[in-house]
Structure 1
Amino acid sequence: MGYIERNLIAGERVIYKTGTHWWVWLPSLLITSLLLAIFQPAVPFIVELSRRFAADLPQIDSYIVFFGIVIILFSALQTLGGFIRWLTDEISVTNLRIVSKRGWLLRRVTEISLSKFEACEIAESLFGRLLGYKTLIITGTGGTAHRFEMVHRARALRDHILAQAAAAPAVPSPTIPRAPAGQSALEDVFVGATAPVEEVRRAAQFVKEGKRQEAAALVKQLVSQYPQDADVWYLVGVLHTDPFRQRDAYQKALEINPNHRLARAALQKLGL
């Protein structure tokens, strides 16, 4: 079981999974083998030449041999790094998102919600066409492009991404519930709030009036000034359209204030 399978969320399942192509390590292995094949029989010849033509430079033969060993070790480390990448890299599409995990000790994870997916492009070099690896470029809403190099079975992955994106239901952005006349929708959740109540209510009013740009600008300012305010993080979740970022914002609000009723209700509604 790989990293992606161990980190699925509730109701999520892997549809298709692939990884990095074996060509990521084979060229450096061939270079290392070639260097070893050349260097081993060449050592006596190098020593003899250095003694004949550079007798006034003591131990130059040792320096030359040391330099050759360093080059071979560097090439071998490149091979090892590529081999580990081939073994550990993962990229998959689930019924909810596209997930990529690159690296072993230094890990980089990319997640793209299918509701934010816009386009998928394949680029291939001559070697890639012959050997079966390609570059996959996935574009999300807003024009953000994610580039995945040397993907094995990239066309099959692309086809599954397109199929899942077409079948993915649209996830509506949660809205602040209506409150009784004369009462703010957030009036009962200001428990230990650190941000100015008037500013939070003004941002909530912007959301209810459909003024998302004004609300986003105000909430961004509040997050930077009051990062430990649950109401502010709840509004961050309301403004996001990506369900996974909404989930993270609501969870942050509940970490700060476990009694935050609206954040808990919104998180349950997402079902993630």
Structure 2
Amino acid sequence: MAYPDALLSRGERVVVHKHPSWKVLIAPAVWFVVIIAAAFTGAALMRRWEDHVIGWWITAAVAVVLLVLLVLVPFLRWRTEHFVITNHHIFFRTGILNRTEHRIPLIHVQNMQTDVTFLGRLLGYGTLIVESAADQPLTFRNVASLPTVQHTLNQLIMDDRDRYRGGGPGPAPAGPIPATPPLPPAHG
């Protein structure tokens, strides 16, 4: 079962499921080309040596170690980092061997902040900082299509709060209702 399908509550559906922006894969792609080119160049230069076979093995070993550290590990980090918004929660999971996961109910989101650099504006990514009632602010870096994600998250938060107040679609959930001040009457 794909992440986070096993974690969803009844009636909960995934609205946004993202990995970090593709821009985090630029450096590993460049490293891949550089390492392969350097390894082949080194192997070609070693053909003139008497014991070139040992040099080839050393070159291959160094190239494999660098490929794992500079290409494979960043790719796996990108692939295993999930930013998911459902109609009830925000999920964030990261980690290759050890995993860290956060699950924030939308009703507990108190503030959102975005940080978009100039390059982020050009390439369409940014940082989303979410403050909740119980946790320290969580920072989600390299979120692709950040304005769309923020708009979707704002709408889901409002829908979730309306649902808890009993004014949204579907029945109000059982259990305590979070305290919210009453809205003043509209005068027109």
> Quick check: 2:43–2:55 contact (8 Å CA) kept in 1?
no
TM-aligned CA distance change 1:61 to 1:133, over 3 Å: farther
Q: Does the C-alpha gap of structure 1 residues 104 and 117 become closer, same or farther in structure 2, counting only changes over 3 Å?
A: same
Cα distance change, pair 131–103 in 1 and its aligned pair in 2 (3 A): same
Whole-Å separation in 1 of the counterparts to 2:17 and 2:42: 46
Residue correspondence of structure 1 range 65-214 to structure 2 within 5 A: 66=58, 68-77=59-68, 78-141=70-133, 144-169=136-161
Aligned length: 167
Give the aligned residue type for 2:114.
I
* TM-score when normalising by structure 2: 0.70
Q: Is the 8 A contact 2:126 2:142 kept in 1?
A: yes
1:24–1:86 Cα contact (<8 Å) kept: yes
* Conserved 8 A contact 2:46-2:52: no
More helix by proportion, 1 or 2?
1
Shift of 1:150: 1.6
For the aligned residue pairs, the C-alpha RMSD in angstroms reads 3.3
Counterpart AA for 1:165: I
Q: State the match for 1:34 in structure 2.
A: 34
Partner of 2:43: 43
Residue 41 of structure 1: how far off its partner (Å): 2.2
Relative to structure 1, the CA distance from residue 105 to residue 13 in structure 2 (aligned partners, 3 Å threshold; closer, same or farther) is same
One-letter amino acid matched to 2:175? K
User: Contact (CA 8 Å) 2:83, 2:90: kept in 1 or not?
Assistant: yes
Q: Secondary structure at the match of 2:20?
A: coil
Gaps of 5+ in 1: 52-58, 173-267
Alpha carbons 1:20, 1:85 under 8 Å: kept: no
Alignment of 1:178-257 (within 5 A): none
Give the C-alpha shift of residue 147 in structure 1: 0.8
Q: Deviations over 1:72-111 (max 9, x none)?
A: 2233223223333333432122222111122354322111
C-alpha separation between the residues in 2 aligned to 1:24 and 1:3? 21
Partner of 2:14: 14
| Contact 2:81-2:94 at 8 Å conserved across structures | yes
Q: Indicate the SS of the match to 2:27.
A: helix
- Unaligned runs of 5+ residues in structure 2 are 166-173, 177-188
Matches of 2:119 and 2:53 in 1, distance apart?
39
Identity %: 20
